[in-house]
A = this chain, B = another copy of it.
Amino acid sequence: MDLEGCLVPEIWIRLAAQTGIDELKVTTRDIKDYDELMSYRLGILDKHKIGMTQLRTAIESIGPLEGALEYTQWVRERFPFIILSDTFYEFADPLMKQLERPTLLCHQLEIDANDRIVGYHLRTVDGKAHAVRSLQDNGFRVISIGDSYNDVTMLKQADQGILFHAPDNVIEEFPQFPACTNYEELKAQISKAAQAPQS
């Protein structure tokens, strides 16, 4: 399952609001290349002298989406659950704590002794679809859940893809995926997909 938009708010958008730095609102819609986008964002943080400790405090106060904790508890009682995200462990950590430490696979920041974010390591390219393929290769049927364009390869790769909190244009463009707007609907779709006969 994807993280931002699905279990927690969009972290950068909320950081922009909290810090009042409008430049942090820039997304993949403005800068397509994720690598370039991240370099831009880290440059902005550096310019405003925002270090990891301040960021961590801000992210802590964001918290998961309402109902996300109860939903993940439900899933984790029934299935192996892995969160696949393009965020960074250091950003997501306060939110993972609030979600009772599910397994998260994402990317890693490099932070220096002065609390400054000096770089980042992307684990792999198209990491979400790659991880789904690997799980299938390990004998699992996979249900993938995401909200946006960067989840589509993972939804297509999965045995069942489900859109959650997706914008209308994504829902219209990919009618093959059921689209849910709340956790109760999502749980029903997951149960249905899990009970489907194996192909």
Bound-state CA distance A123–B77 (Å) is 19
Q: Is B105 in contact with A138, judged by CB distance below 8 angstroms? A: yes
Flag A104-144 by CB within 8 Å of B: 1 or 0 each: 11000000000000000001100100110011011110000
Q: For chain A residues 54-74, which have a beta carbon within 8 Å of chain B?
A: 73
Q: Is B139 in contact with A124, judged by CB distance below 8 angstroms? A: yes
The 8 Å CB contact of A124, one of B101, B124, B138, is: B138
Bound-state CA distance A23–B102 (Å) is 38
Number of copies: 2
Q: Is B138 in contact with A137, judged by CB distance below 8 angstroms? A: no
Number of interface residues of A (CB under 8 A): 25
Bound-state CA distance A104–B93 (Å) is 20
Nearest neighbor of A73 in chain B, beta-carbon distance: B101
Q: Is B139 in contact with A137, judged by CB distance below 8 angstroms? A: no
Q: Which residues of A are interface residues toward B (Cβ below 8 A)?
A: 73, 76-77, 80-82, 93, 97, 100-105, 123-124, 127, 130-131, 134-135, 137-140
